[in-house]
A and B are shown apart, each in its own frame.
Chain A
Amino acid sequence: MDYGWIMIVPVLGGALAGAAMLIWWERRLLGFWQDRLGPNRVGPFGLLQIVADIVKLFTKDDWVPPFADRVVFILAPTAIMAGMLMAFAVVPFGPGLHVIDLNIGLLFFLAMISLAVYGVLLGGLSSNNKYSLLGGLRSAAQMVTYEVFMGLSIMGVVLLTGSFNMSEIVRAQEDVWFVVPQILGFFVFLLAGIAESHRLPFDLPEAEHELAGGFHTEYSGMKFGLIMVGEYLGVILVSAMITTLFFGGWLAPGFLPPISILGPELEGVFWFSLKTTFFVCFFVLLRAGIPRPRYDQLMSLGWKILLPITLINLLATGAIALFIAEGG
C-alpha cells in the first residue's frame, strides 16, 4: 500500500517535532550524564522548554552583519534545513510509509545530505568573519574526507540487497540485519554520519571552544534556529539511516511475536522509532563523553584508516556476493 503525497504531512511534522524535542531531550540527557538535572522548570519535565526556546528565537533581533554577503548569508541556513528535510522523503518509517519510493533512494539521500553541507560552507564563507571562515574551511576539509567513505561504506549494503531502494533494503534484512555481515560498513557509516551531521566529536566546523561558534558565529534569531534545527534533523536523519541500512528498519527483532493490536504499519513505526531513538541517544552520549580531535587528525583517520577499511569491506562483500551468485 502506498500513501503517496499524503505522507508529507506526518513526515514533515514528525521530523520537525522530533528535532524540536531533541533540543530539550539532549539537554536533559546531558544533564543526567553530568549528574545534574537539566532543564526541568518549564512545564511537565521541562517539556515546554521547547516552546520557550522557540519563542525566544523568534523574538530575537534577526540581524544580518553589514559586512556579510547578504543573499548567500540568508540562503545558507535554508540550504541546511531544505537538504535535511528532502532527505527524509526517502526514509521508510514503516512498510509503505514513505513520501516517495525512489528506486535510487540511497543515492538521493547521499545527494541531499551533501547539499546540506553547502549550507554550512556558504554560511561560513558569507559571514565574512575569520572564525566563520575557519569553520567553513574545516567544513570543506571534513566534507571531502568523509563523503568518500560514507558513500562507499553503504555500497556493501547495496551489494547484498541488489537495490538502491530503501524499502527493498529493509525487506532484504528479514533474515539477518545487515549489521552482522556489514559490521565494518556500519562502524564506518556511523563515524561518517557523525561527521555528516557535524556533531561532537566531529563538530569541527562549529567548535565553539576554539572558533566561538564556527560557521554560525554571525547568525542570530531564527536563522540560527534554522541551523540548529537543521543539525538536530541531521542527527535524526543519520540515526534513521543507520536503523534502515543496518538494523532492519521497521522490522521487529525476529524472536519477538508481532504486536497485533497495532497492526503491521504502526508496529513498523514503533520499532523504527525505538531504534532511531536509541541511536539519537547514542549521539548525545558521544557528545557527553568524547573530546574533539584536531581536523588534521580527523582527515588522517578518514583517509588512512577508514577509507582502506571501507574498500577492503567492499571488496570482500563483492567477492562473497559474486561467489554466491556464481552458485558457490
Chain B
Amino acid sequence: MWSHVRTLWEVLKHTFSRNETVQYPEEMPYLAPRYRGRIILTRDPDGEERCVACNLCAVVCPVDCIALEKTEGEDGRWLPEFFRINFSRCIMCGMCEEACPTYAIQLTPDFELCEFNRDNMVYEKEHLLIDGVGKYPGYSFWQIAGKTIAGKDKGEAQGECEPVDVKDLLP
C-alpha cells in the first residue's frame, strides 16, 4: 500500500520535469554522428569509388535489400556495375557497414526517407554515392591493397615489401 502511495508521489513530481520529447518537425532532435540512417557509398581521398563489389554487404543483409554486380575498370580497379538498395526493405541494422572491408558503405544520421511513390525508395548507385570520404578521412583501400592497378605496381602499396624474385638464389 505504501509503495503505491509513493509511486503516485513519484509520478506527480514529473509534473515539473522537463519533456524528453521534442516538437519534431519544428525542432530537430540531436542525432549522434554514428546514428544508423540512410545508407551512402563513400569515395577514396583521391575521389575514386571505394566499393570493390565484393558482395559481402549483400550477403550479410538480413532483409536482402542490397543488390550489386561487379565490373572491372580500365585501371584494374574493381567496382560495382550497379549498386541498388531498396530502402523500403532496409531496416537500418548497419550490418552492411560492419561487413564492408573497404569502408565504402556507411550509414548516416538521416532518417527522413519518405516518398509518395514506392519505386522512389529504390536508390541506385548515383543516388548512393557521395563526393566525400565519410567517417574515415585518410583511408584509401587501393593504396593499401596488394592488387595492381594503373599507377601502382606490386610492392608499391603502403607498408608492402618489394615482391620476392622466386627465381633468384641470393638470400
**Which residues in B have some Cβ–Cβ distance to A below 8 Å?**
4, 7-8, 10-12, 14-15, 17-21, 23
Query: Among the listed A36, A37, A288, which residue makes an inter-chain contact with B11, where contact means beta carbons less than 8 Å apart?
Result: A288
Across the interface, do B21 and A37 meet the contact criterion of CB distance under 8 Å? yes
Across the interface, do A32 and B15 meet the contact criterion of CB distance under 8 Å? yes
Which residues of chain A come closer than 8 Å to B20, judged between CB atoms? 35-36
Q: Mark A82-113, 1 if CB is under 8 A from B, else 0.
A: 00000000000000000000000000000000
Across the interface, do B8 and A289 meet the contact criterion of CB distance under 8 Å? yes
Give 26 A-B contacts (CB < 8 Å), ordered by A residue.
A32-B15, A33-B11, A33-B12, A33-B14, A34-B14, A35-B14, A35-B17, A35-B18, A35-B19, A35-B20, A35-B21, A36-B20, A36-B21, A37-B19, A37-B23, A285-B8, A285-B11, A285-B12, A286-B8, A288-B11, A289-B4, A289-B7, A289-B8, A290-B4, A290-B7, A290-B8
In the complex, how many angstroms separate the beta carbon of A1 from the nearest chain B beta carbon? 40
Residue of A nearest to B22 (CB): A37
Across the interface, do A33 and B15 meet the contact criterion of CB distance under 8 Å? yes
Closest 3 A/B residue pairs (Cβ): A289-B11, A36-B21, A35-B20
Interface size, chain A (Cβ < 8 Å): 11
Question: With the chains together, A289 CA to B5 CA distance in Å?
Answer: 9
Question: With the chains together, A37 CA to B23 CA distance in Å?
Answer: 9
In the complex, how many angstroms separate the beta carbon of B7 from the nearest chain A beta carbon? 5
Number of A-B contacts (CB under 8 A): 32
Interface of B is mostly: helix
Interface of A is mostly: helix
In the complex, how many angstroms separate the beta carbon of A285 from the nearest chain B beta carbon? 6
Question: With the chains together, A290 CA to B20 CA distance in Å?
Answer: 22
Which residues of chain B come closer than 8 Å to A285, judged between CB atoms? 8, 11-12
Which residues of chain B come closer than 8 Å to A32, judged between CB atoms? 14-15
**Which residues in A have some Cβ–Cβ distance to B below 8 Å?**
32-37, 285-286, 288-290
Which residues of chain A come closer than 8 Å to B11, judged between CB atoms? 33, 285, 288-289
Which residues of chain A come closer than 8 Å to B15, judged between CB atoms? 32-33
Which residues of chain B come closer than 8 Å to A34, judged between CB atoms? 14
Which residues of chain A come closer than 8 Å to B21, judged between CB atoms? 35-37
Question: With the chains together, A33 CA to B7 CA distance in Å?
Answer: 12
Across the interface, do A36 and B8 meet the contact criterion of CB distance under 8 Å? no
In the complex, how many angstroms separate the beta carbon of B26 from the nearest chain A beta carbon? 11
In the complex, how many angstroms separate the beta carbon of B61 from the nearest chain A beta carbon? 34
Residue of B nearest to A36 (CB): B21
Residue of B nearest to A40 (CB): B23
Question: With the chains together, A285 CA to B12 CA distance in Å?
Answer: 7
| Known A34-B14, A285-B8, A289-B4; 19 more pairs at CB < 8 Å | A32-B15, A33-B12, A33-B15, A35-B14, A35-B17, A35-B18, A35-B20, A35-B21, A36-B19, A36-B20, A37-B21, A37-B23, A285-B12, A286-B8, A288-B11, A289-B10, A289-B11, A290-B4, A290-B8
Question: With the chains together, A32 CA to B21 CA distance in Å?
Answer: 11
Question: With the chains together, A27 CA to B11 CA distance in Å?
Answer: 15
Question: With the chains together, A87 CA to B17 CA distance in Å?
Answer: 38
Residue of A nearest to B13 (CB): A33
Question: With the chains together, A286 CA to B15 CA distance in Å?
Answer: 14
Question: With the chains together, A141 CA to B11 CA distance in Å?
Answer: 30
